[in-house]
Amino acid sequence: MATLFHLIFMIFMIFQTIDGQRIVTAGGGDCKVSSFGGKRVCSGAIIKTYKTPTPRVLVCENGKIRLKLKKLVPPNAPKANSGGDCEWYGQVYCDQDLIKDLHQWWFLRRCSKGRIYTLARSLQDVLEDPRYQGNLV
């Protein structure tokens, strides 16, 4: 029975990487970008691409804007202000981000087209989590 759940979990994880979703932790930080009129962008978003002999990009990373080599940035990194971003508890998340909240760990949140949706984790996933300390009775 446990192997069936592990198989389903592995298929889910493969689907996530194919689907292009990013799993982010709540409270990871976003950046305020003056070139976008002071708007905030989500963590991990590409702000600007520079076409130089070694291509570089400006990326928002945990609340700080950093210049990185393009080859070091994940290929599924979102573009800043591409639409569909969500704001939740004062932080901006990219469209299709899967948000792990450490205070409400038995749920996941998904940002989709400007709205936050709540997703319940499976019972098996909750029971196997080390933070679970109760019983079901």
Strands, sheet with 64-69, edge to edge from the N-terminal-most edge strand:
46-50, 56-61, 64-69
Q: Is the pTM of this model over 0.75?
A: no
Tens digit of pLDDT at every position of the chain (137 positions): 555 544 444 444 434 433 557 777 777 788 888 888 888 998 889 999 999 999 999 999 988 999 999 999 998 888 887 888 998 888 899 998 888 877 777 788 999 998 999 998 888 888 888 888 876 55
